[in-house]
Amino acid sequence: MLNQLNILLREENLRVTPQREAILKVLYDCRGHHLETENIYELLAARSEKGKKIGLATVYRTMELFEKIGLVSRLSMENLPARYELILQTKLIHHHLICLKCGCVQEIDDKLAEDFKNRIIDQTGFEVKDKSMKIYGYCSRCREQVKNKR
Amino acid sequence: MLNQLNILLREENLRVTPQREAILKVLYDCRGHHLETENIYELLAARSEKGKKIGLATVYRTMELFEKIGLVSRLSMENLPARYELILQTKLIHHHLICLKCGCVQEIDDKLAEDFKNRIIDQTGFEVKDKSMKIYGYCSRCREQVKNKR
DNA sequence: GATTTAAATGATAATGATTATCAATATGAA
DNA sequence: TTCATATTGATAATCATTATCATTTAAATC
Ligand SMILES: [Mn+2]
Ligand SMILES: [Mn+2]
Ligand SMILES: [Zn+2]
Ligand SMILES: [Zn+2]
């Protein structure tokens, strides 16, 4: 994994730094989750020795870089901070469902999404961008809670 | 139309002001479009007599109010200013396709959206919120332009 | 029409996520 | 080790939006 980072960076004449390695490790340890830049910053701070924190600006810059070289997928959100997830070879790029109550993010089934995307382009000529579907609503867990309160 | 404004405002002990009327007129004249607050502000400025501009803060506040009383639909956008459209009795609340090239906004066919929404809830229990689908990509016009350039 | 009071307005400050700036530091090739 | 330049960290700037607050106004009451 750090290996892959090395390769990708060298390809573009970029340098391997402790900051970039540390950020990648955090992303790897949180694989499957969708992290805000701030989360990553805090996790890094928790891991670092006294007084040697990685700057927040560096985290922002690194996420931008990691997206450019194809290591992470950025998930822009309406009114909320963007989130990032490590791109895994075992899982395709996908679209998301975002709960307005608890903030959880789940993935939309690939076949379902693909089918919808095809219908849209057939009907309107509009080409849906990869992973650009972010659909807001209420997850099953939050809906249950509402039901139980009654 | 101004009539309806009157009724809605009185229902909640709110006041009918020239600013609110002027903003509603702009929205009505632009019905079918999706306007940024800034657009509304500029259109108002163009209509107003010398030196009697409506404040930008008032436009923001009024859009918030109009949404609360159900006159307009707010369309939050990723990384872009929100847009508003007057709710028309002749057209249902709908979801949107947003072009990343030209910024145009078009509506998703109701049946298509409804079907997708049902599939999602059946499969995951996730309840899609009204008008919360904002799908980013490239409109047919922009795609044509790219093709023609080659 | 004059009085009264809460609502509304306009100017401006504050906010929060993100990007830009820039001097100081560190990487990696020579 | 030297050196060019990529990177970092601190901080300022940006931009849409919201909050603040003194001043003005709608509209109910007299
Ligand atoms: Mn994901
Ligand atoms: Mn619309
Ligand atoms: Zn939830
Ligand atoms: Zn377009």
| pLDDT tens sequence across B42-90 | 999 999 987 789 999 999 999 999 999 999 999 999 999 999 999 999 9
Q: Does B4 touch chain A (CB under 8 A)?
A: no
pTM > 0.75: yes or no: yes
Domain chopping of chain A, boundaries: 1-88, 93-150
Answer for B19: CB within 7 Å of strand C. yes
Which candidate, A58, B51, B90, places its Cα nearest to that of A26?
A: A58
pLDDT at A146 (0 to 100): 79
C-alpha to C-alpha distances, A74 to A84, A99, A129, nearest whole angstrom: 5, 18, 13
> Parallel, antiparallel, or unpaired: how do β-strands A96-99 and A127-138 relate?
parallel
Q: B146 C-alpha vs ligand 1 centroid, how far in Å?
A: 30
* CATH tag for B93-150 (out of 3.20.20.220, 3.40.50.620, 3.40.50.2000, 3.30.1490.190): 3.30.1490.190
Task: For nucleic chain D, give residues with Cβ below 7 angstroms from it.
Answer: A 9, 13-15, 17, 19-20, 53-58, 61-62; B 9-10, 15-18, 36-38, 56-57, 60, 64, 76, 81-82
| pLDDT tens sequence across A5-49 | 999 999 999 999 999 999 999 999 999 999 999 999 999 999 998
Tell me if A124 and B137 make a contact (CB, 8 A cut-off).
Answer: no
Q: Which of residues 104-133 of B touch A (CB under 8 A)?
A: 106, 108-109, 112, 116, 119-120, 123-129, 132-133
Assess contact for B19 and B62: CB atoms under 8 A. Answer: yes
**CATH class of the region B1-88:** mainly alpha
**Burial group, residue A143, by CB count within 10 angstroms (0-12, 13-18, 19+):** middle
Distance from C-alpha of B141 to C-alpha of B148, rounded to nearest angstrom: 11
Taking contacts as CB-CB distances below 8 angstroms, the residues of chain A near B136 are 128-129, 132
Q: A95 C-alpha vs ligand 1 centroid, how far in Å?
A: 7
Which candidate, A30, A7, A23, A6, places its Cα nearest to that of A85?
A: A30
pLDDT at B49 (0 to 100): 82
Assess contact for B98 and A98: CB atoms under 8 A. Answer: no
Distance from C-alpha of B1 to C-alpha of B24, rounded to nearest angstrom: 8
Assess contact for B106 and B139: CB atoms under 8 A. Answer: yes
Q: Hey, is B95 helix, strand or coil?
A: coil
